[in-house]
Amino acid sequence: MTFELKDSSLLKAQAFINGEWVDGDKGETFAVTNPATGEKLADVASVGAAETKRAIEAADKAQVLWQALAPKQRSEILEEWHRLIIVNTEDLAVIMTAEQGKTVAESRGEVAYGASYIKWFAEEGKRVYGDMIPSTPDRRGVVIKQPVGVVAAITPWNFPNAMITRKAAPALAVGCAMVLKPAAETPLSALALAELAKRAGLPAGLLSVLPGMDAPAIGGEMTSNTTVKKLTFTGSTPVGKLLMKQCADTVKRTSMELGGNAPLIIFDDADLDMAVTGALAAKYRNSGQTCICANRLLVQEGIYDVFVEKLAAAVSGFRIGNGFESDTTHGPVITEKAAKDIHAKVQQAVEEGANVVIGGQPGAQGACFYEPTILTNVNDQMRVFSEEIFGPVAPVFKFSSEEEAISMANDTEFGLAAYVYTENMGRIWRVSEGIDYGMVGVNETAISSELIPFGGVKESGQGREGSKYGLDDYLETKYICIGGL
Ligand code: ADP
């Protein structure tokens, strides 16, 4: 083991079902490895449909009591969970870097970011207001909001902590119970969060964590079980579509946070240094593995060359390596397969005429590394234009007019985040309103926090996470007509 924890009891390798740490029924396990070194970190219990069904039944029982508590009582438990996460930041960050690869500094940032959702929804859960609707003199219309009930969640590996807290916090705050399947690459962060929830006093059954190798078995039970009223998913668009289809049979509500293909549009009138700084963060954060990473850099022709020069100068200062080493600026990508997929996209672009300004090769540090890369002379026929790269590769496209930039930005089935750099106020409004995205960062790429509604349009998904709007995903609206007055 390459790391030590202050509190080694946060490292769990069993499933967490109905408040208990348990092995899978069949005694099966799967290995979790460190992508930087290939070292095995743990053999984690692998559960399937039967265990998932039991977790759902426990959630159903626990949810009834949980829903009946005063919002303030639920809030106090969430506040305590938040406090314990902050106190254990260092251990949670170390576990995350070990299983996911991001630098420890990035992991600490994610722990704080993830915890912020718990704090926010501990507060916001106390403000689930309804409405009174005036109608005729002998009746009143009352609208109340109630928890949807048992929620199933499926989360990805790129943010092993925050993608869970963003779902669990609003769900629990309004009185739902959750059964969660974390990504098989990063179950340890999820299990540590469950342990802290237990210590915070969260009653058994309200948050079960179901690690497993057989995602379709767990997902199949979650989507077919009639007790589950809602599925919330963050992951790839193909899997999201499949899960939506599966949910159709029982008409479950869904929230989907799927793939992106974010354009970062830089106009001639932009503050160039600010745009370079923004592009570096938006493109290379988490080694390019976030769904809001800038996928396509669209740069106006007047500043194209100088922008590429400045970007390349900054990227040449990156140091890829093991996330535990203090001089590492960027960690590995999640798997060897991911590194190969990224390289295939780069190779296809190069074969079709792209120039490699910097990088363009797998990293020498290990099987899961890829060099930070910049490509020019790229076009919309290349996979780097149409597909989510999910790696540290920046293709820089050239445009001439505002209309062309908007059209290129919208030329995708995705619509999650987009970024615009310009100093022209009219253009800020025209472009922000003209592009089909759920989130637009203007002269800023660090756009996410617990305060804002995070989510996409088109095939990037539905529903919003965070902010006052984030509660709606876990609430039903009920109309009560009081007559005979
Ligand atoms: P990525 O490409 O980022 O790994 P995926 O969509 O494949 O994205 O994975 C996101 C989450 O969805 C993970 O927890 C994964 O295990 C889960 N998953 C993948 N396929 C299925 C499936 N058929 N049913 C349920 N969950 C799935």
Q: What is the pLDDT of residues 122-173, one digit of tens each?
A: 999 999 999 999 889 999 999 999 999 999 999 999 999 999 999 999 999 9
Residue nearest (by alpha carbon) to ligand 1 atom 24: 216
List the catalytic residue out of 110, 124, 257, 388: 257
Question: Does any ligand 1 atom lie closer than 6 A to the CB of residue 71?
Answer: no
Q: Do domains 8-258+460-479 and 262-442 have the same CATH topology?
A: no
Q: How confident is the model at residue 79 (pLDDT cuts 50, 70, 90)?
A: very high
Q: Is the pLDDT of residue 1 over 60?
A: no
pLDDT tens digits along 342-399: 999 999 999 999 999 999 999 999 999 999 999 999 999 999 999 999 999 999 999 9
Residue 257 bears catalytic tag:
yes
Instruction: Provide Rg for the chain, Cα atoms.
Output: 23
**Would you say the pTM of this structure is higher than 0.95?**
yes
pLDDT tens digits along 442-482: 999 999 999 999 999 999 999 999 999 999 999 999 999 99
Buried b or exposed e, range 66-78, using 16+ CB within 10 angstroms: beeeebeebbebb
Residue nearest (by alpha carbon) to ligand 1 atom 11: 156
Residue nearest (by alpha carbon) to ligand 1 atom 13: 183
Q: How far is CA 120 from CA 160, 169, 200, 233, in A?
A: 19, 8, 17, 21
Task: Locate 304 and state its tokens.
Answer: 């194209």
Question: Does any ligand 1 atom lie closer than 6 A to the CB of residue 156?
Answer: yes
Q: Is the pLDDT of residue 274 over 90?
A: yes
Question: Does any ligand 1 atom lie closer than 6 A to the CB of residue 215?
Answer: yes
Q: Which of helix, strand or coil describes residue 445?
A: coil
Residue nearest (by alpha carbon) to ligand 1 atom 27: 215
Give me ligand 1 centre to Cα 367, in Å: 22
Q: Which CATH architecture has domain 262-442?
A: 3-Layer(aba) Sandwich (3.40)
Q: How confident is the model at residue 3 (pLDDT cuts 50, 70, 90)?
A: confident
Q: What is the mean pLDDT of the chain?
A: 98
Question: Does any ligand 1 atom lie closer than 6 A to the CB of residue 224?
Answer: no
Atom of ligand 1 nearest to the CA of 218: 25
ipTM of the complex: 0.98
Give me ligand 1 centre to Cα 183, in Å: 7
Contact 327, 104 (CB under 8 A): no
Pick the CATH number of 8-258+460-479 from 3.40.50.2000, 3.40.50.300, 3.40.50.700, 3.40.605.10: 3.40.605.10
Question: Does any ligand 1 atom lie closer than 6 A to the CB of residue 453?
Answer: no
Domain boundaries, the chain: 8-258+460-479, 262-442
What letter would DSSP give residue 202? P
Contact 182, 163 (CB under 8 A): no
